[in-house]
Structure 1
Amino acid sequence: MVSKMAKIAFILLCHKDPDAIIKQANSLTAVGDYMSIHFDASASPEAYKKITEALGDNPNVCFAHKRIKCGWGEWSLVEATIYAVQSAVEAFPRATHFYMLSGDCMAIKSAEYAHEFLDRRDCDYIESYDYFQSDWIKTGWKEERLIYRHWFNERTQKRRFYAMFNLQKRLGLTREIPADLEIMIGSQWWCLRRRTIEWILDFIKKRKDVMRFFATTWIPDETFFQTLVRHLVPEHEIECRTLTFLMFTDYGMPVVFYNDHYDLLLSQDFLFARKISAEATELRRRLGVLYASEGQRFKISNEGRSLYKFLSEKGRTGRRFASRFWEKESSLGRERELMIVVCKKWHVAKRLLERIRQMTNIPCIEYLFNEDSCELPDLGGIQSTMGKRHRHRRALMRMLFDYYETDRLVVCMDPANLDLIEDFGRDRSLTRILEIECQFSDEYLIGHAMRVGLAGERTPPETLQRLLPTVRNDMVHESDRIRDGNFANLLRMREIETQDTNADMVASFLSVPQDKARQIIDHDHLYAD
């Protein structure tokens, strides 16, 4: 390794799994980087002894000069970090960068790539957003974290924690934030230059008032370093981001990565990722080998968050949430027929509806639950927003039957609208469903990925090829769920099927003669993209 290259001192806070820590330390230091370990004092002495004995002869590993018991949301997490940093600064004079890690983190790039990345720009990588102006804190306390004193752990001493808070609030015992500090907030997974770390350690010695203030704030690991870096370092030398890839669910829980996430992780514009599942032994093995490799080239596409959002927002039973509940409004009417055309390719369904309009007198409405621009009559405002259409779906449909003065109505729905299809399928009215099964070319799937934000114009071809199976499988899964719905009147029209067979499906769906059905589907470009 060229001497001018960055050399990283990893700051590892951990409390369990000594075998994994030993592997992590040996892997990261094998290429010349360093590690300073703070192993929680509340952990078993046997586990700590195992780590120190296994790594004691490794000259690139040191241990925090003082061990303390750490608790979530406590100052102890910052204090433990400071102890590990102080030991690293003293033990590793050649370290150029100091990188915060947890035992659940693993490198998703090679050391060669990481060093070149850090050499590219002389800056600190840390999320550092204005505490009061940003929306980093989504819900819960904001000012209360700072202006009141928090001596107890909210998770293990909940009664004392809230009793002291309520007492201070009742007596008006607030305090001022240090006047020269602008409080910042962000992720605790930072990477700071040696000069910045030395400035912070010097600041800590001089400003006991600031240390006293942060020592009784709540969740200071999200504010302490973030505030001090912004206070001490020129703004143009701060890159307001983390180099550790992490995602959270809607419930605030970290997304966990498994063996089949290897390719996805490597394509993200980050150096490390968390959380890697302890059970993902193959992923851990491959990532461990990766860090020591040379000559690796990485195609950065950064689609991880958009891909996770795309899949998780489906709200699928057994894949994310339990079944949804919707309001139960009165029936559409026992004598009415609702005919639902279900098709992922909206332009195909719209062409079929246009043919139905031409050949029958049945009113047809396109994707009213998917497109804001869907042409609907004025029904007193219930049709005005997509939210209202979904919330009052049965009332909306009843009003459409009444508006057109008909007992028969055809509408289009996307296969993803299974909740709507199930709701109408259980109604006392007669509901028929015609699913149009289309063929999906790679070009169509790529276009679809771009339309839903999974890919962009600059997404590399290799990334697109990795996305295609995901998008294709998602569409197959939607179709499978409709088949598994056990609908009483489900018919399937297939692009690869004969005209006669498809005409039979349409005839049954619309209750029209076979020759009329054949005329309806007699369209030269029905399936064309």
Structure 2
Amino acid sequence: MAQIAFILLCHKDPEAIVQQARQLTAVGDCISIHFDARARAADYDLIRAELAGNDNVTFAKTRVRCGWGEWSLVQATLHAIEAALAAFPRATHFYMLSGDCMAIKSAAYAHRFLDADDVDYIESFDFYDSDWIKTGIKEERLIYRHFFNERTQKDRFYRSLRLQRRLGLRRRVPPDIAVQIGSQWWCLRRRTVEEVVAFTRARRDVVRFFRRTWIPDETFFQTLVRHLIPEREIRSRTPTFLMFTDYGMPVTFYNDHYDLLLSQDFLFARKISPEAKELKRRLGRLYASGREEFRVSDEGRKLFAFLTGRGRVGRRFAPRFWETDNLLGRERELLIVACKKWHVAKRLVGAIRHHTDIPALDYVFNEESAPLPDLGGIQTTIAKRHRHRRALMRMLFDYFDSDRLIICLDTGSLDLVSDFYADRPTVRLLEVECEFTDTYLADHARRVGLAGGETSDETLRQLLPTIRYDVAGESDRLRDAHLANHSRIREGAAPEANAGTLARFLTVPPDVALRLAETPNLFAD
């Protein structure tokens, strides 16, 4: 059975470190602690005194002064690993943690998870081809030597970088290694860790190279594991759940995130707020609880992106250069049916195709599988349709040899609606207002990945008001845009009332409009 040796890098809050070590070792796992040499000596002495009688705790023999983005973090990790290898000969896995990490599964679950597959868990993507680095310098991390810390010595950091560029002081990456990048929170097998340590002793050239790279804790272990271990024995993922904001800052978890954290497909989470006392208490008891079953829905990242993205309505200030010659023409009429319930709009459009000769299409900009004619490849993907939206619409008008065309759009597609209104054709917008039950909204959350099959009822209860508010907000934004020729039909309205609106929208006789309004099960879910 797996026995984990935790590699803990920490620099503050000694009482919390003591508590963390006791919780993790209570069920037989081990921990090797590196406490930053920059921290107060009294704090380090407290940790050593409190854990002195615990045989499952060891300390790095050498402490280094750590700085974010520096080699010192890798060196501290290596010191803690070497101490763990010597102190815990029965440890099968080595798991990298920080003082802000806490278990979100039990030890029983974690051991079973690691026993199930003889692999290493470490994020590792090709440094050059991946888009793992979102902001800041990329290749410059490797090809120039970094002597200063960008956070504490910003001016010197960038002056040194500019000087090396000007003098052409590029350096070569060791030719036999392919640099990888990924999260520094990993879990490696004992054999892998032993090979990494042996490699660092045999290949001082590689160590020298990484000593002067920027943020090497995101590249050093990731590169060496890929270099030493067959690909089939590596899972390119971190077993620690962490998220980042749009500004590259780690998302912090609080007391009300307990159920969300437990439902993620990870063993630990980072980072837990120091103020989240109740969350820490509950997670602290969890690791030794013996609990083996967890309902994993894994919706955390999508849910975070959804909640933080509300209100960020895309606005375009000028036509894209490839669209300047793609105007649709003043003589044409584009009819847009906007509805959040796609099946309702599709029923209505299907009835329009049956009762009129107006060409009508489904959600061509929202649904990859929406039926479209072959237009030379421009229609093949959602991305292409959006990128060449006006060219696509012009080709559809030409394909159907018609000056009138109907398309469906999701009510959240205000950018598309606004773009078409800014063009030359006459545009009419029919908004189909539907009623939304809690059951429908819960199913919608599952369809779009905000919730999974195992998402708890409590999480859904917290999520539903936000989704309901979001759906209402999309309709409000359409109204606030004050678009011309904007009309609405409503689920609760009489067919005769909806028929009048449909007659004006489609310019069809009243009897045809009434047949459309009376479409069987038009609003049924």
TM-score, normalised with respect to structure 1? 0.77
Partner of 1:327: 318
Partner of 2:64: 68
Alignment of structure 1 residues 309-388 onto 2, 5 Å: 311=306, 315-317=309-311, 321=312, 324-327=315-318, 340-356=336-352, 366-367=362-363, 369-370=365-366
How many angstroms apart in 1 are the aligned matches of 2:211 and 2:428? 64
How many angstroms apart in 1 are the aligned matches of 2:113 and 2:467? 35
Structure 2: give runs of 5+ residues left out of the alignment.
none
CA shift at 1:81, angstroms? 1.2
How many angstroms apart in 2 are the aligned matches of 1:180 and 1:395? 48
The residue type equivalent to 1:436 in the other structure is E
Given that 2:336 and 2:427 are in contact with CA atoms closer than 8 Å, whether structure 1 keeps it comes out as no
Structure 1: give runs of 5+ residues left out of the alignment.
none
Alignment of structure 1 residues 33-72 onto 2, 5 Å: 33-45=29-41, 47-48=43-44, 51-72=47-68
1:499 aligns with 2:490: no
One of 463, 468, 477 as aligned partner of 2:470: 477
Partner of 2:106: 110
Question: Counterpart of 1:79 in 2: which secondary structure?
Answer: helix
Partner of 1:101: 97
Question: Counterpart of 1:462 in 2: which secondary structure?
Answer: coil
How many angstroms apart in 2 are the aligned matches of 1:234 and 1:358? 59
Partner of 2:186: 190
How many angstroms apart in 1 are the aligned matches of 2:271 and 2:143? 32
Partner of 1:212: 208
How many angstroms apart in 2 are the aligned matches of 1:175 and 1:359? 71
Given that 2:341 and 2:434 are in contact with CA atoms closer than 8 Å, whether structure 1 keeps it comes out as no
Partner of 1:297: 293
How many angstroms apart in 2 are the aligned matches of 1:303 and 1:175? 43
CA shift at 1:494, angstroms? 3.9
Question: Counterpart of 1:95 in 2: which secondary structure?
Answer: coil
How many angstroms apart in 2 are the aligned matches of 1:337 and 1:175? 61
CA shift at 1:302, angstroms? 3.8
Name the stretch that deviates more: 287-296 or 349-358.
349-358
One of 196, 216, 223 as aligned partner of 1:200: 196
Partner of 2:116: 120
Partner of 1:436: 433
Partner of 2:217: 221
CA RMSD, 1 decimal: 4.6
Question: Counterpart of 1:166 in 2: which secondary structure?
Answer: helix
Question: Counterpart of 1:11 in 2: which secondary structure?
Answer: strand
Name the stretch that deviates more: 342-351 or 390-399.
390-399
Taking structure 1 as reference, are residues 328 and 296 closer, same or farther at Cα in structure 2, changes over 3 Å only?
A: same
Question: Counterpart of 2:287 in 1: which secondary structure?
Answer: helix
Taking structure 1 as reference, are residues 98 and 423 closer, same or farther at Cα in structure 2, changes over 3 Å only?
A: same
Question: Counterpart of 2:31 in 1: which secondary structure?
Answer: strand
Taking structure 1 as reference, are residues 211 and 411 closer, same or farther at Cα in structure 2, changes over 3 Å only?
A: closer
CA shift at 1:288, angstroms? 1.9
* Residues 366-401 of structure 1: CA deviation (Å, up to 9, x unaligned): 5454357566999x9999986687578799989999
CA shift at 1:9, angstroms? 1.9
CA shift at 1:182, angstroms? 4.5
> Identical aligned pairs, as a percentage?
58
The residue type equivalent to 1:64 in the other structure is A
How many angstroms apart in 1 are the aligned matches of 2:504 and 2:403? 23
Given that 2:434 and 2:523 are in contact with CA atoms closer than 8 Å, whether structure 1 keeps it comes out as no
Given that 1:334 and 1:430 are in contact with CA atoms closer than 8 Å, whether structure 2 keeps it comes out as no
Taking structure 1 as reference, are residues 413 and 123 closer, same or farther at Cα in structure 2, changes over 3 Å only?
A: closer
How many angstroms apart in 2 are the aligned matches of 1:130 and 1:333? 47
The residue type equivalent to 1:73 in the other structure is G
* Residues 110-152 of structure 1: CA deviation (Å, up to 9, x unaligned): 0111122223344433234454565555676555433432211
CA shift at 1:100, angstroms? 0.5
CA shift at 1:105, angstroms? 1.7
How many angstroms apart in 2 are the aligned matches of 1:381 and 1:191? 44
How many angstroms apart in 2 are the aligned matches of 1:322 and 1:345? 20
Taking structure 1 as reference, are residues 113 and 405 closer, same or farther at Cα in structure 2, changes over 3 Å only?
A: closer
How many angstroms apart in 2 are the aligned matches of 1:385 and 1:462? 31
How many angstroms apart in 1 are the aligned matches of 2:433 and 2:464? 18
CA shift at 1:68, angstroms? 2.5
Partner of 1:160: 156
Given that 1:345 and 1:438 are in contact with CA atoms closer than 8 Å, whether structure 2 keeps it comes out as no
How many angstroms apart in 1 are the aligned matches of 2:145 and 2:442? 55
Alignment of structure 1 residues 280-295 onto 2, 5 Å: 280-295=276-291
1:269 aligns with 2:261: no
Given that 2:333 and 2:403 are in contact with CA atoms closer than 8 Å, whether structure 1 keeps it comes out as no
Given that 1:12 and 1:37 are in contact with CA atoms closer than 8 Å, whether structure 2 keeps it comes out as yes
Aligned length: 512
How many angstroms apart in 1 are the aligned matches of 2:294 and 2:386? 43
Given that 2:120 and 2:189 are in contact with CA atoms closer than 8 Å, whether structure 1 keeps it comes out as yes
Taking structure 1 as reference, are residues 198 and 164 closer, same or farther at Cα in structure 2, changes over 3 Å only?
A: same
TM-score, normalised with respect to structure 2? 0.77
The residue type equivalent to 2:155 in the other structure is R
How many angstroms apart in 1 are the aligned matches of 2:385 and 2:234? 47
Name the stretch that deviates more: 359-368 or 42-51.
359-368
Given that 1:418 and 1:482 are in contact with CA atoms closer than 8 Å, whether structure 2 keeps it comes out as no
1:462 aligns with 2:454: yes
The residue type equivalent to 2:474 in the other structure is R
Taking structure 1 as reference, are residues 516 and 286 closer, same or farther at Cα in structure 2, changes over 3 Å only?
A: same
